[in-house]
Amino acid sequence: MTFIVFVVESFTSTIERQAGGRMFQRTRKVACPECNGSNFWHGNPKPTDVLVCRYCSAAVITYAKYVEQAAQHEAERLLAEFIETDISRDLAHLKAVLAATGPRPSL
């Protein structure tokens, strides 16, 4: 759990330091919790700025919370990428590599 918190905090700090408010080239699309309409952050929002739904005028999320959630999702995705491995595929790859290298000298 400590590792996840560290990753999220590091990732959030990195995002906040980026010039122009560009978030790691990911979509800035946010669905409204009231009407499920698609909304987008524009420009360079401040952490306290609130995204207001363009369809129903409901407050959707603050930019700080949006960045925190995006960092959390990215950390979860990265952890899943390294944790959820396909053992059978890895073993097959290892066997193929070992077979391609030819005979090994005996010790």
Measured distance CA(30)–CA(21) in Å, rounded: 16
Please indicate whether residue 93 or residue 58 has the higher confidence score (pLDDT).
58
Residue 87: how many other CB atoms lie within 10 Å = 7
Mean pLDDT of the region 24-30: 67
- List the single range of 5-19, 30-44, 71-85 with lowest mean pLDDT: 5-19
The ranges assigned to domains in the chain are 2-99
31 touches 38 (CB < 8 A): yes
Q: What band does 55 get if pLDDT is binned at 50, 70 and 90? A: very high
Quote the Cα angle for 75-92-83, to 5°. Answer: 15
**Reduced to 3 states, what is the DSSP secondary structure of residue 61?**
strand
pLDDT of residue 104: 61
Read off the pLDDT band of 8 (50, 70, 90). Answer: very low
Q: What pLDDT does residue 21 have?
A: 44
State the helix-helix crossing angle for 63-83 and 2-17, rounded to 10 degrees: 130
This model's pTM is above 0.75: no
Residue 13 pLDDT greater than 80, yes or no: no
Q: Taking a C-beta distance cutoff of 8 angstroms, is the pair 52, 58 a contact?
A: yes
Distance, in Å, from the CA atom of 41 to the CA atom of 45, rounded to the nearest integer, reads 7
